[in-house]
Amino acid sequence: MSNEKNLPYAVVCGGVNIDIGAHSFAPLRAKDSNPGKVELSLGGVGRNIAHNMRLLGVPTYLLTAVGGDSRASQVEESCKELGIDLSHALRVPDGRTSTYVFVGDSDGDMTVAVADMEICEKLTPDYFASQKELLDGAAAVVVDANLPRESIAYLVEHCAAPLFVDPVSTVKAEKLQGLLSHVHTLKPNRIEAELLSGVKITDDATLYQAAQALLGQGVQRVFLSLGGDGVFAAQQGETHLEPICKAEMRNATGAGDAMMASLVWSFLAGRDLAESCAAGTAAAAIAVESEETINPAMSAEAVLARAAK
């Protein structure tokens, strides 16, 4: 990041995965060998957000854990190419780099998956305490809820930089209960928002109530993803509903990670609530138009052009 040393930087705290995806050519036969294609790619919520942030031009450090295996060198090689700084990541010599294996049927639906993410438990409060100087110097810190609860608690309580939190899934969002008091930006979907706010969302009034309940817990900005109904954003004294951006859907998996990256980038650029929301939905639209989880066409110019429409 030599030429970017003077720019404000962001730190992403979260998971990195090697994703191994297998798709059968014909309907799957259980307990048998099925001809198909197997593809290997890099994933993990934290890594995906960091990848999108680099495409948007944000200098980014990734605080994650990698093992002492050959998969760790694949992660390192890829991050180096993308300009994601891994120099502060935790190396676990006898650990296995987080790996996610899924098998899809010929119709594209996932049949079974195994997630080997044990190494994430090594991302302890002590590890993050050892990175306090880097964290405090950041213009923004992103936390993905794959981290252990006590580590999320440490970051919420001790991190001086504005915190952006991605609940990841309903199960992982449970870890955030009672930990939202110092969060700058929270990006839940409808179910995660219901869980964390205690409000069942059934109409506009309860949507507003849920957002207000999250702000009441100390969150400064909420961007609540409503799927096809767009994104409802709220901060004290202001709300905004942004419809989804029209897109040629090819792959839905990376939309949330792209949106979070765009929200961080928008914050660093000083955009207001409505502008941030428009940039977030624009980034999500660009993300779903690629077969890959991360659309290589993602850029600051592309997001601004899409948001302007």
pLDDT digits (tens, 9 = 90+) for 80-89: 999 999 999 9
3-state secondary structure of 88: coil
Distances (CA, A) of 196 to 28, 62, 157: 38, 26, 18
pLDDT at 4: 54
β-pair partners for 102:
21, 113
pLDDT at 140: 98
pLDDT at 254: 86
Distance between CA atoms of residues 173 and 20, nearest Å? 25
What sign results for the dihedral spanned by CA atoms 49, 51, 55, 60?
Answer: positive
Calculate the CA 221 to chain-centre distance. Answer: 16
Show pLDDT as tens, one digit a residue, over the chain (309 residues). Answer: 444 556 799 999 999 999 898 989 999 999 999 999 998 889 999 999 999 999 999 999 999 999 999 999 999 999 999 999 999 999 999 999 999 898 988 887 788 989 899 999 999 999 999 999 999 999 999 999 999 999 999 999 999 999 999 998 999 999 999 999 999 999 999 999 999 999 999 999 999 999 999 999 999 999 999 988 999 999 999 999 999 888 888 877 889 999 999 999 999 999 999 999 999 999 999 999 988 889 999 999 999 999 988
For residue 171, give the nearest of 202, 146, 200, 142 by alpha carbon.
146
Q: What is the pTM of this model?
A: 0.92
pLDDT at 3: 43
3-state secondary structure of 184: strand
pLDDT at 2: 41
pLDDT at 50: 98
CB atoms within 10 A of CB 136: 13
pLDDT in tens, 166-175: 998 999 999 9
pLDDT at 5: 57
| H or E stretch covering 72 | helix 70-82
β-pair partners for 44:
none
Distance between CA atoms of residues 302 and 199, nearest Å? 36
Strands 110-116 and 99-104: antiparallel
Distance between CA atoms of residues 241 and 205, nearest Å? 13
